[in-house]
Structure 1
Amino acid sequence: MTQTDMGVRRFGHVNWLGLYTLAAREVMRFLSVWTQTLLAPLVTAGLFLVIFTIAIGATRGDVMGVPFVTFLAPGIMMMTVIQNAFANTSSSIVISKVQGNIVDTLMPPLSGGELVLGYLAGGVARGLIVALIIALAFWLVLGLVPAHPLLALVYVLLGGAFMGALGIAAGLFANKFDQMAAITNFIVTPLAFLSGTFYSVEALPPVLNQITHANPIFYLIDGLRFAMIGVSDSAPALGLVICSVATLAISALAWRMLATGYRLKA
């Protein structure tokens, strides 16, 4: 039973103060450990770029008409964004459940939708800040300037929202850290790595190509690649539609899980 089932709230349709407080808590949560949540992803993205450049960048020709390093950069950026957005929401919920203080979030008069938006604010904000830091680094090191800046922003926000909502669902499902680690290692990481981050899907066999096109993360990576360097494996408009529908669907699932108290009730 949610707070709104107990009677009519005196806050109106939206508890703006409660929503702002939860969102601010989620943002401050990752800002307070910025070396782990913001600096570390930058280092990881840089290492990926350096390793692939040293290993095969000098010997491989252009990919889709652009240098391999330029092709690689947007995929690494989106992979970092979605991993951090997922980690922010999922870890917040799992840690609260394990420590037993999830009740502090459930007791205030917040609806399921407000809880989803509050948690998503932290995940999207972390993904956006990480993207801006990496974009600045790519501009300084590679001279890479987004071909379509507004579209790049849209895809970053969609990526953060999609994986943030998925993180909420995963955090509610997992009751222990090892369950969360299993979801990250066996679902999230493979989906991110096998979605065209490091290669064009046109190089895949037909069956794997079709499987990849069924993965929403592929469209996030491919869409950001188009926004950054102007080339892509699929139509950017199609990617926007698929990513938007997938984000709404997983957000609805997260809302339903929170509204019904899935794995939150004793």
Structure 2
Amino acid sequence: MPQSGYTVELGERRFGHINWLGLQTIALREVKRFMVVWTQTLMAPLVTAGLFLMIFNLAIGPNRGEVMGVPFLHFLAPGILTMTVIQNAFANTSSSIVISKVQGNIVDTLMPPLSGLEVLLGYLAGAVARGLFVGLGISAGLFLVLGIVPEHPLVALVFVVLGALFLGGLGIVAGVFAEKFDQMAAITNFIVTPLAFLSGTFYSVDALPPILRGLSHVNPVFYLIDGVRFGVIGTSDSSPLLGFVVCAGASAVVCALGWAMLRSGYRLKP
């Protein structure tokens, strides 16, 4: 008990300072965790993205014509890229926390003199790293297979990082909230997957009825995909600046919630 009280007190006294060694340790742990099983965490998403593009090309690609002034596959590619990045960022943080809770070793993260912010940043570093690895792999494939060269690469990179931060933060919230794997699966299937698929990944929202178009503009993932699409093909459904504001705001809100949950020990401390 005295040791636990000392840890909390230490965390309060260190407000405004960063335990860089502890932060680096958590970040490296998260990166090594997905690198050890790279065939599952990195190779599998690349294969899945390639299959999506191949199936859409075989099914409707040749007959679809241009969308927003570009070939259908060129329009589709940024959506597939973004969807894959955000799903992997979410999976990285959520699975790490849930597995630690189920196995009982979450205490290894809670006991060291680390603040909630440092733990949050460590988890997010792993999510962003995994998202960037997957995004770079898909981008290389798009260049080799479709000859796509991004029109605004820095814009695309900013929205990819924002997407990894947003879904990585959401993964932290979901991982802390979920008590077991089936709860985590429910969050993935009923929240994350609909957000990703109903966000203009495979279509332009301008083709939707007004009501559905309005609902799409409430979805932050729509702006993520639209921003990456602007960075890759140079055109989008909405203003990239508006998308940046919405995505940055949504990421800040989710990460702040994750920080509050980690700091309080909600559903983490026995």
* Aligned positions of 1:39-54 closer than 5 A: 39-54=43-58
- The answer on 1:86 being equivalent to 2:90 is yes
User: CA contact under 8 A between 2:115 and 2:263: conserved in structure 1?
Assistant: yes
- Counterparts in 2 of 1:240 and 1:35: CA distance versus 1, 3 Å: same
Taking structure 1 as the reference length, the TM-score comes to 0.97
User: CA contact under 8 A between 1:3 and 1:108: conserved in structure 2?
Assistant: no
Give the CA RMSD over aligned residues: 1.4
User: CA contact under 8 A between 1:2 and 1:261: conserved in structure 2?
Assistant: no
For residues 32 and 159 of structure 2, what CA distance do their matches in structure 1 show?
24
For residues 104 and 38 of structure 1, what CA distance do their matches in structure 2 show?
26
For residues 120 and 144 of structure 2, what CA distance do their matches in structure 1 show?
36
For residues 20 and 168 of structure 1, what CA distance do their matches in structure 2 show?
18
- Counterparts in 2 of 1:204 and 1:12: CA distance versus 1, 3 Å: closer
For residues 192 and 5 of structure 2, what CA distance do their matches in structure 1 show?
30
For residues 10 and 97 of structure 1, what CA distance do their matches in structure 2 show?
26
For residues 251 and 163 of structure 2, what CA distance do their matches in structure 1 show?
8
SS of structure 1 residue aligned to 2:67: coil
For residues 209 and 11 of structure 1, what CA distance do their matches in structure 2 show?
44
**Out of 82, 102, 105, which is 2:106 matched to?**
102
- The answer on 1:176 being equivalent to 2:170 is no
Taking structure 2 as the reference length, the TM-score comes to 0.96
User: CA contact under 8 A between 1:3 and 1:109: conserved in structure 2?
Assistant: no
Task: Name the stretch that deviates more: 7-16 or 121-130.
Answer: 7-16
Aligned-partner residue type, residue 6 of structure 1: E
For residues 190 and 53 of structure 2, what CA distance do their matches in structure 1 show?
23
* Aligned positions of 1:145-164 closer than 5 A: 145-164=149-168
Aligned-partner residue type, residue 145 of structure 2: V
Across the two proteins, how many residue pairs are aligned to each other? 266
For residues 226 and 14 of structure 2, what CA distance do their matches in structure 1 show?
45
* Aligned positions of 1:1-266 closer than 5 A: 5-7=8-10, 13-266=17-270
User: CA contact under 8 A between 2:159 and 2:228: conserved in structure 1?
Assistant: yes
User: CA contact under 8 A between 1:139 and 1:145: conserved in structure 2?
Assistant: yes
For residues 102 and 133 of structure 1, what CA distance do their matches in structure 2 show?
31
For residues 147 and 250 of structure 1, what CA distance do their matches in structure 2 show?
30
Gaps of 5+ in 2: none
For residues 90 and 99 of structure 2, what CA distance do their matches in structure 1 show?
14
